[in-house]
Amino acid sequence: MEVLVSTGALIGRPNGRNPQLLTDLSKRLDGDGFEFMMYSTWYDTVEEITALVNGLSLHIPVYHCQKTVGEDVTVGNFEEAYRKMAINAKQAAELGCEKMVFHLWNGEVSDSCFENNLKAYGELRKIVADHGVDLLVENVVCNIEDPLLHWKQLSDRYDAPHFIFDTKMAGFHGQIDAFCEGEYAWAWKEGLVKHYHINDYAGGYKDWTALRTLPIGAGHIDFEKFIAFVKGTGYDGTFTLESTAFDKTGVVDTDMLNRQIAFVREQWKR
């Protein structure tokens, strides 16, 4: 089991999305590695950023695809989505990543035309696989249906799609129990879940005002129960902490992230 930290928890608008910050911040964290987050503003400098990150010799087994690729898919802008995905997949491979987290649907357009998302998935998966990376579809929040239903639709159309399960997203849709023990337990029972995001959620069912990325303990998800459940399934892979760690001035609270890392490890040992 590996506990990773998302670079998106460290780098954001308040600190200029400056990848140079990883030079210092990576040394202050106790995790086993990182999940690298790609931003829309980095396409023009992607090669320089890749060289910078590789120069830090970080362990980065997971890559988070730039989020608006899924929005391009939903609105039918397939060629642009494939172009961006090729850039993301190339960077993921060059950073040594094995898995890619992907928002197949995203943003305000969300799953408003999910047939487009279903249509594009096969080509997107091929692009990523051609770079030696495993594409994982996240249970991203939906405007129309719900994410685990879309997992089922993908599984019905394609052979063995792989997934990443996010606790906050599931909490938003009230689907944690449905995933663990209910109608969608087939996803982990069939070994299709290859990664987890550990984030808390403090709202109710589809409470858009509460859709923030919270640290463990700041919401109402029972992580002692959830981590014990995941361990009991036989999973022994990667987890990522995504909790936003920078404040409005861009200063990063690495102590908060280290406390979460320690909590996950402690629960895993029980």
How large a percentage of the chain has pLDDT more than 90?
Answer: 100
Helix boundaries (H) for 95-185: 114-129, 147-157, 167-172, 176-180
How large a percentage of the chain has pLDDT more than 70?
Answer: 100
In angstroms, rounded to a whole number, what is the distance separating the alpha carbons of residues 34 and 254?
13
Please state the rounded mean pLDDT for residues 240-267: 97
Write the CA distances from 270 to 4, 183, 215, 229, integer angstroms. Answer: 20, 28, 21, 12
pLDDT-derived band of residue 269, with 50, 70 and 90 as boundaries? Answer: very high
Please state the rounded mean pLDDT for residues 153-164: 98
Contacts of 27 by beta carbon, 8 Å cutoff, 6+ apart: none
Calculate ∠ Cα 180-186-190, nearest 5°.
115
Q: Convert the pLDDT of each residue in 40-71 to its tens digit.
A: 999 999 999 999 999 999 999 999 999 999 99
What length is written for the chain?
A: 270
pLDDT of residue 133: 98
Rg over alpha carbons for the chain, rounded to the nearest Å, is: 17
Please state the rounded mean pLDDT for residues 177-183: 97
Contact in structure between 12 and 244 (CB atoms under 8 Å): yes
pLDDT-derived band of residue 207, with 50, 70 and 90 as boundaries? Answer: very high
Give the mean pLDDT of the chain: 97
Domains in the chain, CATH or no CATH each = 2-269 (3.20.20.150)
